[in-house]
Amino acid sequence: MGGEEKCCVVTGGRGFAARHLVLMLIKYDMFTVRIADLGPTINLDPDEENGVLGEALKSGRAHYVSADLRDKSQVLKACQGAEVVFHMAAPDSSINNHQLHYSVNVKGTKNIIDACIELKIKRLIYTSSPSVVFDGVHGILNGDESLPYPAKHNDSYSATKAEGEALVIKANGSNGLLTCCIRPSSIFGPGDKLLVPSLVGAARAGKSKFIIGDGNNMYDFTYVENVAHAHICAERALASEGPVAEKASGQAYFITNMEAFKFWEFVGIILGGLGYERPKIKIPASVMMPIAHMVELLYKILAPYGMKVPQLTPSRIRLLSRSRTFDCSKANERLGYTPIVPLQEGLRRTIEAYQHLKANVRTKRDGPSKAELLLGSGIVADTLLWRDKKKTLAVVLILAAFYFNFIATGYTVITAVSKLLLFASLLLFIHSKLPQKIFGYKFEKIPQSKFNVSEAASHHVALSVASGWNSTISDLKSLCQGNDSALFLKVVVSLLLLSILGAVSLHNAYVVGLSIAFTAFIVYEKKEEEIDNFFLKVVSFGCKVKSDVTSKISSSKKHQ
CATH number at residue 217: 3.40.50.720
Amino acid identity, residue 380?
V
- Residue after which a domain boundary falls, among 362, 384, 412: 362
- Per-residue pLDDT of 345-395, as tens digits, reads 999 999 999 999 998 754 445 556 767 766 766 777 778 777 777 778 888
Q: Give me the pLDDT at residue 67, please.
A: 96
What's the whole-number mean pLDDT along residues 499-519? Answer: 75
Residue 309 sits in the same domain as residue 393 = no
Write the CA distances from 68 to 19, 90, 100, 108, 121, integer angstroms: 18, 11, 13, 8, 19
- Per-residue pLDDT of 3-40, as tens digits, reads 456 999 999 999 999 999 999 999 999 899 999 999 99
Residue 30 sits in the same domain as residue 172 = yes
Q: Long-range pairs for 531-537 at CB < 8 Å and ≥24 separation?
A: 532/205, 532/206, 533/206, 536/206, 536/207, 536/209
Q: 325 or 308, which is more confident?
A: 325
Name residue 253's beta-bridge partners: 182
143 domain-assigned:
yes
Q: Give me the pLDDT at residue 439, please.
A: 63
Which of 218, 208, 68, 210 lies closest to 143, judged by CA?
A: 218
What's the whole-number mean pLDDT along residues 110-125? Answer: 97
Q: Is 220's pLDDT higher than 70?
A: yes
Q: DSSP secondary-structure letter at 357?
A: G
Q: What does DSSP say about strands 62-66 and 32-37: parallel, antiparallel, or unpaired?
A: parallel
* DSSP string for residues in 158-194: HHHHHHHHHHHHHTTTGGG-EEEEEEE-SEESTT-SS
| Residue 161 designated active-site | yes
Which of 354, 208, 355 lies closest to 278, judged by CA?
A: 208
Name residue 442's beta-bridge partners: 437
Residue 295 sits in the same domain as residue 384 = no
Residue 40 sits in the same domain as residue 149 = yes
Give the domain range for residue 549: 372-428+504-553
The answer to whether 111 and 97 have CB atoms below 8 angstroms apart is no
Name residue 36's beta-bridge partners: 11, 65
Residue 72 sits in the same domain as residue 116 = yes
Q: Give me the pLDDT at residue 377, please.
A: 62
Torsion, Cα 347 23 91 193, to 10 degrees, reads: 40
Residue 324's pLDDT band (boundaries 50, 70, 90)? Answer: very high
**Phi (first) and psi of residue 343, to 5 degrees:** -60, -50
Residue 380 CB partners (closer than 8 Å, separation 6+): 302, 305, 306
Residue 230 sits in the same domain as residue 170 = yes
Residue 48 sits in the same domain as residue 107 = yes
* DSSP string for residues in 213-268: SSS--EE--EEHHHHHHHHHHHHHHHHS-THHHHHHTTEEEEE--S--EEHHHHHH
146 domain-assigned:
yes
Amino acid identity, residue 237?
A
Catalytic residue among 110, 161, 207, 330: 161
Q: Kindly state the helix (H) or strand (E) to which residue 538 belongs, with its residue range.
A: helix 528-559
Indicate the average pLDDT of the chain: 85
- Residue after which a domain boundary falls, among 310, 343, 362: 362
Residue 355 sits in the same domain as residue 401 = no
- Per-residue pLDDT of 232-270, as tens digits, reads 999 999 999 789 999 999 999 999 999 999 999 999 999
- Per-residue pLDDT of 427-482, as tens digits, reads 778 777 777 777 666 666 666 666 676 676 676 667 767 766 777 777 777 778 77
The answer to whether 221 and 185 have CB atoms below 8 angstroms apart is yes
Q: What is the CA radius of gyration of the chain?
A: 27
Name residue 223's beta-bridge partners: 188
474 domain-assigned:
no
Residue 162 sits in the same domain as residue 232 = yes
Residue 137 CB partners (closer than 8 Å, separation 6+): 318, 322
Q: Is 203's pLDDT higher than 80?
A: yes
Q: Give me the pLDDT at residue 113, please.
A: 98
The C-alpha atoms of residue 451 and residue 443 are separated, in whole angstroms, by 18
Q: Give me the pLDDT at residue 66, please.
A: 96
436 domain-assigned:
no
The C-alpha atoms of residue 154 and residue 316 are separated, in whole angstroms, by 9
Q: What percent of the chain has pLDDT over 70?
A: 82
377 domain-assigned:
yes
Q: Is 49's pLDDT higher than 60?
A: yes
Q: Please work out, in degrees rounded to the nearest 5, the angle formed at the alpha carbon of residue 369 by the alpha carbons of 367 and 372.
A: 115
Residue 358 sits in the same domain as residue 385 = no
Q: What does DSSP say about strands 218-219 and 261-262: parallel, antiparallel, or unpaired?
A: antiparallel
481 domain-assigned:
no
58 domain-assigned:
yes
Give the chain's domain count.
2
464 domain-assigned:
no
Q: Give me the pLDDT at residue 363, please.
A: 47
What's the whole-number mean pLDDT along residues 520-528? Answer: 77
Residue 161 sits in the same domain as residue 82 = yes
- Residue after which a domain boundary falls, among 306, 333, 362: 362
Q: Please work out, in degrees rounded to the nearest 5, the angle formed at the alpha carbon of residue 251 by the alpha carbons of 157 and 233.
A: 95
Residue 282 sits in the same domain as residue 398 = no
The C-alpha atoms of residue 484 and residue 478 are separated, in whole angstroms, by 6
